[in-house]
Amino acid sequence: MDVKWNELGFGYVKTDKRYVSLYKGGKWDEGILTSDETVTLNECACVFQYAQTCFEGLKAYRTADGKIVCFRPDLNAERMERSCERMKMPVFPKERFIEAVKATVKANERWVPPYGTGATLYIRPYMFGSDAVIGVKPANEFQFRILVTPVGPYFKGGVKPLSLRVSDLDRAAPRGTGDIKAGLNYAMSLYNIVDAHEQGFDENVYLDAATRTYIEETGGANIIFITKDGTVVTPKSDSILPSITRRSLLYVAREYLGLKTEERRVTLDDVSGFAECGLCGTAAVISPVGRINDHGKDILFPSGMKDMGPVTKKLYDTLRGIQMGEIKAPEGWIYGID
């Protein structure tokens, strides 16, 4: 095993073990860890024909004192429960979800990047309908799986501020499924992310589908703004993914940094009044945004295109510190893998 931890991008690397549990006859089996990274399915499996699938994403970190920890896996279990209900899939129970995450990380211990390399172990729990279905209806059999892969920064260029563009498309189709992580949602955004990259942008900012006035989120992360007087503002919307990072950051801003926070509707017109902007998510961590291009017109944040804004940096350092075991975490946020 010869991994250059410092040079890892955000890609798939085959690791030692993955978790698999099968649902059949109305119940989940006890689950196994396997070395086999392939999945063999019937050609008519519901996941292929109707994209009956959903997923989660979280990370394991190697802390300053060499331990391995996970950040708030209970919230991923709860969000996946909502995704499953919305996609007509059986729920994988929360306690089992957490145990399976721990077991999978433990079985791949040597793949958890060393402290200080900037790399982490990305954990991808996912579920899909696995038996043959040709009429439009949910599957009867399902697989719940967890794979892990070591990753570096999500955006190329590390912490260089990003360029976003306001998108003309809706992120999620059909409407109203923006708060779940389902395969179909993301497939519908692939055209748009490829186009954004071809046009030289790092990501798309989506507006609300009904009025195209309010900021929602980006393709793979929620968005935060900092006002000129240091208040952390984040868009309130029922159709964005309830980011665990964003929810944690708002708490950190208030309780650790003494900042004011506001969850409210943010119009595209409001954006030019903010001092700083950033994307937040498990993969994005907190990535600074330097500009948002609105149909050819650039909105530039005073924090610029070189560095993270000062408040964004404080949020980043504090959250990172909590995840890496350098700063005491709130009760119940950190799960040890042992």
Ligand X SMILES: Cc1ncc(COP(=O)(O)O)c(C=O)c1O
Binding site residues, ligand X, CB under 6 A: 57, 217, 220-222, 241, 243-246, 281-283
Nearer to ligand X, 241 or 292 (CB): 241
What's the min distance (Å) between Cβ of 333 and ligand X?
13
**d(C-alpha 128, C-alpha 230), whole Å:** 43
State both tokens at 163.
């360029």
| Buried-state track 303-333, b at ≥16 Cβ within 10 A, e below 16 | beeeebbebbbbbbebbebbbbbeeebeeeb
151: how many CB neighbours lie within 10 A of its CB?
Answer: 21
What's the min distance (Å) between Cβ of 24 and ligand X?
29
Residues in contact with 178: Cβ distance below 8 Å, sequence separation at least 6, in sequence order: 171, 172, 185, 216, 217, 237, 238, 239, 240, 241
Catalytic option among 59, 102, 181, 314: 181
86: how many CB neighbours lie within 10 A of its CB?
Answer: 14
Nearer to ligand X, 130 or 248 (CB): 248
Backbone angles phi, psi at 5, to 5 degrees: -55, -40
24: how many CB neighbours lie within 10 A of its CB?
Answer: 13
User: Do 225 and 268 touch, CB atoms closer than 8 A?
Assistant: no
What's the min distance (Å) between Cβ of 218 and ligand X?
7
**d(C-alpha 95, C-alpha 164), whole Å:** 38
**d(C-alpha 319, C-alpha 326), whole Å:** 10
What's the min distance (Å) between Cβ of 259 and ligand X?
19
Pairing of strands 162-166, 285-294: parallel
Nearer to ligand X, 62 or 246 (CB): 246
What's the min distance (Å) between Cβ of 74 and ligand X?
12
What's the min distance (Å) between Cβ of 244 and ligand X?
4
Q: Is 150 left (phi over 0), alpha (psi -120 to 50) or beta?
A: beta
Pairing of strands 27-28, 58-62: unpaired
Query: Active-site residue 181, yes or no?
Result: yes
Kindly report the CA angle at 78 between 86 and 48, in degrees rounded to 5?
A: 40
Helices 73-86, 244-255: crossing angle, 10 deg rounding: 140
Nearer to ligand X, 139 or 285 (CB): 285
State how far the alpha carbon of 280 is from the alpha carbons of 78, 154, 247, 249, in Å.
19, 11, 10, 9
Nearer to ligand X, 51 or 241 (CB): 241
Nearer to ligand X, 45 or 69 (CB): 69
Nearer to ligand X, 139 or 180 (CB): 180
Give me the residue label for tokens 């999620």.
172
**Residue nearest ligand X, CB atom distance:** 281
What's the min distance (Å) between Cβ of 176 and ligand X?
15
Q: Could you list the active site residues? A: 181
